Amino acid sequence: MLTSLRFFTFLISLALTKVFFITNFFDTKHQAATLLRLSLLGVLAIFVNACSSLTPKTSTPLQPRIEKPSVALVLGGGGAKGFAHVGVIKALEENGITPTIVVGTSVGSLVGSLYASGYSAADLEQLALTTPDSALTDFTLSNQGFIEGIKLKNFINAKVNGQLIEDFPISFAAIAAEKNTLKKVVFTQGDAGLAVQASCSVPNIFIAPRIPEKVGKKYIDGGVVSLVPVDSAYDLGADIVIAVDVTASSPAQKISINSILPAVTSLSSFWALLENNFILNVNSNAPSKNVVSMPAERQRADIVIIPEVGHISSLDTSQRSTLIKAGTEATIPQIKAIKQLITDKTYSKYTTL
């Protein structure tokens, strides 16, 4: 293409030279020839500029676009022991690891919703150490349960400034179960407080909320069907799943509904009731197959963090600090493996042109 243009330009130059001699020879037409020369020179200039613009430029080679893998933090149920989740988040944050998805069951949904809405680890720790149980507990007389759950819903919505789940800076999902069918439900949109209320509604203790309110189905604690919801995290598109299980307990510990009902008059009962949801649900509502499948689901995570909290049962402020510390201590040894996993995923499957 460029060779043809250069040849064409050369022909125009010859034509101009010929015109120059002819017009000078016929002196009587000197003025007209001058105009013709100027016109042809203009045409030549246009073609020269065209040739220059078509000159190829050195192109910058395409650089690979690095896409970071989606990392899910899965926070399991476990009541008071859920304070350890705060310590896990603290350790991850201090090492520059921020999940893109947070999935929580029961107390895991409570902590997870606050974190996903924008709370830092320091904010969560302060809230954990200063929030009285009375801010979350509303007793009532009903044949459906004796904790209404409205205080919990309002507490969450106030702390997240009324944000809907889909507006959180980090994607969030709360796990619950349909009361009548025990079908797992994953809430990723709508009223954050209501989703957390459903996820924390231990059967026979909390009154099961309806979603949508007043007209929808009733929902109960997600621990009935998915205590550590690893599979839900994968379903939501996670490439890497970090799961936290805080339900480790001493073999001698035996809990039943009858043994904890007298404790409801204590302000610490909110966490006590949540803490034992797994045992209660296994003994009453959950199909036997769920008891077998729950540990298997946890093991499908890429990283499993198990804080040593089985020996901790007190719920005063000092024990909350101990639980948070246990979460941090269980996470720190896993940091290197988590970072390596993120690096491996990034530079293998997730490197594209």
- Exactly one of 113, 117, 201, 221 is catalytic; name it: 221
Instruction: End-to-end CA distance of the chain: give it in Å, rounded.
Output: 31
Instruction: State the pTM of this model.
Output: 0.77
At 97 the pLDDT is 98
Residue carrying structure tokens 């720190």? 332
Query: Once rounded to an integer, what is the mean pLDDT over residues 247-255?
Result: 53
Position 42 scores a pLDDT of 52
Q: Which of 209, 193, 174 is CA-nearest to residue 136? A: 193
Candidates 127, 114, 78; CA nearest to 229 is 78
Distance CA 152, CA 78 (A): 16
Is 106 noted as a catalytic residue in this protein? Answer: yes
- Look up 249 and say whether it is catalytic: no
Helix spans in the chain (H):
2-25, 30-53, 83-94, 107-116, 121-130, 150-159, 192-199, 230-235, 257-260, 269-275, 277-284, 288-299, 317-331, 335-346
d(CA 23, CA 323): 102
Confidence grade of residue 20 (pLDDT, cut at 50, 70, 90): very low
Q: Give the model's pLDDT for residue 255.
A: 44
Q: Which of 70, 106, 109, 113 is catalytic?
A: 106
How high is the pLDDT of residue 184? 97
Gyration radius (Cα) of the chain, Å: 35
Q: How many other C-beta atoms can be found within 10 angstroms of the C-beta atom of residue 63?
A: 7
Q: Tell me how far apart the alpha carbons of residues 311 and 304 are, in angstroms, rounded to a whole number.
A: 19
User: To the nearest 10°, the Cα dihedral for 290, 295, 297, 301?
Assistant: 170
Distance, in Å, from the CA atom of 254 to the CA atom of 123, rounded to the nearest integer, reads: 34
What is the mean predicted confidence (pLDDT) over 201-230? 95
Tokens of 73: 């933090």
What is the pLDDT averaged over residues 54-71?
66
Angle, CA 134 vertex, CA 151 and CA 87 arms, to 5°: 90
Q: Span 224-252, mean pLDDT?
A: 89
User: How many other C-beta atoms can be found within 10 angstroms of the C-beta atom of residue 109?
Assistant: 34
Q: What pLDDT shows up at residue 270?
A: 76
Alpha-carbon span 191 to 278, nearest angstrom: 25
- 16 Cβ contact list (under 8 Å, min separation 6): 37, 40, 41, 44
**How far is it, in rounded angstroms, from Cα 279 to Cα 104?**
18
Give the HSE-up count for residue 255: Cα atoms under 13 Å, Cβ half-sphere: 21
Contacts of 27 (CB under 8 A, 6+ apart): none
Q: Please say whether the beta carbons of 247 and 77 come within 8 A.
A: yes
d(CA 314, CA 24): 113
134-144 pLDDT, tens digit each: 899 999 988 99
Amino acid (one-letter) located at 258:
N
**What's the CA gap between 85 and 156, in Å, rounded?**
17
- Nearest partner of 246 among 69, 74, 97, judged by Cα: 74
Share of the chain above pLDDT 70, in %: 67
